[in-house]
Structure 1
Amino acid sequence: MMMDFEVQPLCTESYGSRSAQHYQPLPDGSLNCVPDRPEDQAYRSLRDIFTSVFLPQGYPKSVSPDYLAYQVWDTVQAFASSITGTLATQAMLKGVGVGDETSTVTAATVTWILKDGTGMLGRILFAWSKGSKLDCDAKQWRLFADVLNDVAIFMEIVAPAFPACFTLIVCTSGFFKCIVGVAGGATRAALTMHQARRNNMADVSAKDGSQETLVNLAGLLFSLLLIPLVADNLCLTYSLYGLFTVLHLYANYRAVRAICMETLNWARLRLVLCHFLRWEKVPDPALVNPQEPLLPGFRQQLSMTLGAPLHTVASSVADFQKALEGNSTNHLIFFNRAAGTISVLLHRQAGSVDVIKACTHTLILEALLCPDVSAFLVERESLLDLQHKLHEGPCNKDWVTVSEIHRLLNRIFPKFLTGLTEAGWIIDRNLLGPEEWRLDWTVPKKKIL
């Protein structure tokens, strides 16, 4: 008489985040693989195929926690952009003379070459003027790129209605679209770097491309059904453009808002520092990111230059010596109240923490120009006293206030830095975007024989 008994597994195995499977020994000495839930094998197989094709290996542990929310909304915006792009393409082809017997191939070719040439020029100029800033404010530039893309598509749709200005309109549109290409591509790379958590930036980028291709294919199939309906119906064309543009902008806003970055830029550092001064506690990235402004220049009281050259801020030895007085850090502050500017000089040996400290120094100085300093809990009396000196004292004594802020900063910054680390902020690198100028004011004097 044989008795049933439960065979104990030799080991368990899993692939990433998938359910575990067990290995049991059989009487003949071979191994038997037993999944946790055999009835779900078909469903798991389809899901696993989809995951392996369109999601990075090791998902979700190999990417940032905000990956799925961002990709969902990014997929929606890509679909909407694909539809409006199709409407623009139809209008452009009509504008260059497709279907018009009076139009020539030469005229259409010249128009297209001018459009592409103008766009190439725009690509170079924009990359030159804003390329170094795209990493620092990736969210803002990502949203900017999508808004500008909708503007460019609108110009292409309405261009056939203005035959006399058609070439000018499409060249301007091409100029805008190439700016979109630079801003969109650069910010996509910055966000991919943020999302990749296992040195798998290439895999995340490749799978993002696969997702976008799938969405564009779906948009293409939808467009095949849509084009016959809008071919000779301008009212429907404009209505569909408006509908999908609203969807595109909303999805982009939600996608950008879903991003939770742990590196500090000016906007996030300003929010973190303000919260710290008010409540004596550093907020975590999940609390700060939804408050980050998406419009450039928002809430900025002063014009700040990080990593400025000495000749732009000091014209005499006395000015330089005033900045050095009482300084024990790797940065110097030059404040011009009349011009509303703050210039920060960085030492040659300044690292990421030194840059964060320098920016904290400037933001405290900026906070003193606001009337709500009394709401701060950290060093309230000292801040109120400094605010009084800043507002009541003459401009030529501002360097004294800057020096006193420096001493205040030395008291509070260690606690602030510890709070940043404990809250989950990354401090060994930052997105504060300093210029490349570095100064060494500790050069030893040569002895004169």
Structure 2
Amino acid sequence: MQSTLYISSNSPPNFHSPWRLPQTHFLSPSQTAPTNPKPAFKPLTLSKSLKTFLNCEFEDEELENLDKSASPLRLPVVIRQSGSVSRYLWDGNELNLVSVDGNALSLSRENFCLDFEDGFRRLVKICGSGLRNFFLPREISGNYLEYVKWKFLHRVFSSALQVLATQAMFRAIGIGYSRSLPSAAALNWVLKDGLGKLSRCIYTASLASAFDTNLKRVRFSTSVLFSLSLGVELLTPAFPQYFLLLASVANIAKQISLACYLATGTAVHRSFALSDNLGEVSAKAQIQTVCFDNLGLMLAAALNILFRNNQRLLVGLPFVVYPIFSAIDLIGIYQGLKHVHLQTLTKDRLEIIVNTWIQFGYVPSPAEVSKEEGIDVLWTKGRGLWPVRIGCLNSKNQIPRLSMMTMRSLNNDDFYFICLEIFNSRLAGTRQQGILLCLREGAGTADVIMGLLQACHIREAILSSRCKWENISEACDSSDFVLRDWLKLNEDSKRYAQRDLNMLNEQMSGLGWACKNILLSTKEQDRYSFVDD
């Protein structure tokens, strides 16, 4: 149990020792000793001896008065422990720790007749403090409570739906009916679980880096998949002959969602831990999950009890509550993820930071970046004008002469290069211009930040004179002016990036951003090697 110790400001005067050592005076080189010799030890006079004796007498009398005092002495030490505030008191014989915030409920005769309303208020305060310490960690960020509120909605209604879906599957497989065959039911159940776990392994292996770079999007997408899987399980009683197929498809979706939940849970918990108390935050999250799931189980049981006398309504109940419970579940997940402010740097978050720095001259906080980043369920990020991409140059998307001139200007000190590219956008039949950042093998975090900073400076310059660069794909191979302008723009933007890099890193570190590493996707981790022939 953790406790906090405070030194009170209204402390009594300290007791100083009456014995003082004589001060030693040293002579400087310019000073000389007195000519008249005097004895080294001066005899103690009566006045000084009497003064020392009186000081000792005074302090002894003060201590005796404290011991004989009728009212206890309040010492300047306050303890905050488990939501209560206590202070040390000296009653003349022993040291006592007494509650000073009124949380202590005593059953003594003096306190038995306290006002009922005041006592009830104290009891509520104690219970609230106990529940808070049971469910919530001590050191958490301010957005944690909002996250827990939405998590409550998500877990309760998701748990209730899972109970109803399991009931439907039991009904479909024939458990509880005379026609059911235990061996066939067990075989179907084992097959659907085995297929689900196999799919979970394949999904986790193929999407490993996305759990870091696109955490919120993957988390919400798999939550939608989980909700749909519950709907498929609810359909199994209507099509019992296809039980294995429907149950396997549903279990595959559930296993994929579970894999994502486990893979992203640590990063979510770390975003709330203020003092590296990741273990405590994770433990409290498990407590919350168990309690909220039990409430959902109770809700499902209450619905079954309510309609137990009408078998027709009981069979149709899941189809009525499924859209309502699923909507509340997904809303809870979506709103909860909006309160998760990740401090790790990805390409998208770093680009938001750099754009804010260039346009407004400051570094946004993790909360501001989280609001700007969103969850991006529809994959709308990167659809703006002149998007920046990290990766290797695609021969189909290159601007030949411009790319060649950029590569020729490289030397052994460069750990990245920037060029322009033309690629097919998501809209069929349209081509879009973009900026490509190619990283060299051995490039560090500072090189990635500087390269993206330079690329964003280039984009700002291009957008400020769009008429000049909008037809670059046709002009660059026929005009030397465009090549010269591009090389000059590259040099100027690199100078601006070098100027801003140190200040940008300092402000990012001061706001809590994890600047040691930048999380990149699999395609963004492609590198080139420099060959000096």
Tell me the TM-score normalised to structure 1 length. Answer: 0.81
Aligned length: 425
2:98 aligned to which of 34, 37, 58: 34
Q: Distance in 1 between matches of 2:466 and 2:443?
A: 27
Equivalent AA in structure 1 for residue 102 of structure 2: P
Residue equivalent to 2:78: 12
Question: Is residue 64 from structure 1 mapped to residue 152 from structure 2 by the alignment?
Answer: no
Gaps of 5+ in 2: 1-67, 106-122, 425-431
C-alpha distance after superposition, 1:58-81 (max 9, x if no partner):
x1xx22222221122112200110
Residue deviations 1:26-46 (CA, integer Å, cap 9, x gap): 201x22213331246655543
Query: For the residues of structure 2 that align with 1:241 and 1:226, how far apart are their CA atoms?
Result: 13
- CA RMSD in angstroms, aligned pairs only: 3.6
Matched with 1:332 is 417
CA offsets 1:124-157 (integer angstroms, 9 cap, x no match): 1211111111112221122112211110000100
| Residue-by-residue CA offset, 1:403-445 (whole Å, 9 max, x unaligned) | 734631430464376356436251233334465544553x788
Show the counterpart of 2:446: 353
Q: Is 1:224 the counterpart of 2:305 in the alignment? A: no
Partner amino acid for 2:325? F
2:371 maps to which of 290, 301, 304: 290
Relative contact order higher in (CA < 8 Å, ≥ 6 apart): 1
CA contact (8 A) 1:54 1:211 kept: yes
Q: Distance in 2 between matches of 1:99 and 1:198?
A: 52
3-state SS of 1:428 partner: strand
387 and 133 in structure 1: CA distance in 2 versus 1, 3 angstrom threshold: farther
Q: Which has the higher helix share?
A: 1
* C-alpha distance in structure 2 between counterparts of 1:277 and 1:237, whole Å: 53
**Amino acid paired to 2:334:** Y
- The answer to whether the aligner puts 1:299 opposite 2:381 as a matched pair is yes
Quick one: distance in 1 between partners of 2:218 and 2:444? 26
| CA positional deviation for 1:299 | 2.8
2:248: which partner in 1? 171
The reply to whether residue 110 of structure 1 matches residue 187 of structure 2 is yes
Indicate yes or no: 2:165 matched with 1:81. no
Residues 309 and 277 (structure 1), Cα distance of their counterparts in 2 relative to 1, 3 Å cut: closer
Tell whether the 8 Å contact from 1:326 to 1:403 is kept in structure 2 after alignment: no
Q: Check whether the contact 1:141–1:184 (CA below 8 A) recurs between aligned residues.
A: no
Alpha-carbon shift at residue 349 of structure 1 (Å): 3.7
In 2: Cα distance, 1:313 partner to 1:350 partner: 24
Check the 8 A contact 2:213/2:346 in 1, yes or no: yes
1:392 aligned to 2:472? Answer: yes
- What amino acid is aligned across from residue 191 of structure 1 in structure 2? V
Normalised to the residue count of structure 2, the TM-score between the two structures is 0.69
Give the unaligned 5+ runs of structure 1. Answer: 374-379
Letter in 2 for 1:429: N
Q: Which amino acid aligns with 1:12?
A: V
1:326 shift after superposition: 5.7
| Partner in structure 2 of residue 185 of structure 1 | 262
- Percent identity over the alignment is 22
**Is the 2:454–2:493 Cα contact (8 Å) retained in structure 1?**
no
Q: Is the CA contact 2:222–2:260 (under 8 Å) kept in the aligned structure 1?
A: yes
Rounded to whole Å, the distance in 2 between the matches of 1:153 and 1:364 is 48
Query: Which residue number in structure 2 is paired with residue 22 of structure 1?
Result: 87
Shift of 1:13: 2.4
1:377 corresponds to which residue?
A: none
Counterpart secondary structure, 1:429: strand
Q: CA deviation at 1:118?
A: 1.7
Distance 1:241 1:285 in 2: 36
Structure 1 residues 72-103: Cα deviation after superposition (integer angstroms, max 9, x where no partner): 21122001100111110011111111123223
Normalized per residue, which structure has more strand?
2
Does the 8 A contact of 2:161 with 2:300 survive in 1? no
1:240 corresponds in structure 2 to 321
Amino acid at match of 1:252: I
CA distance in 2, matches of 1:178, 1:361: 42
Judge conservation of contact 2:226–2:257 (CA < 8 Å) in 1. yes
Which of the pair has more CA radius of gyration?
2
CA distance in 2, matches of 1:131, 1:288: 23
Rounded Cα–Cα distance in structure 1 between residues aligned with 2:516 and 2:388? 22
In the alignment, the residues of structure 1 paired with residue 491 and residue 172 of structure 2 have an alpha-carbon distance, to the nearest angstrom, of 63
Pick closer, same or farther for the CA change 1:421–1:391 going to 2, 3 Å. farther
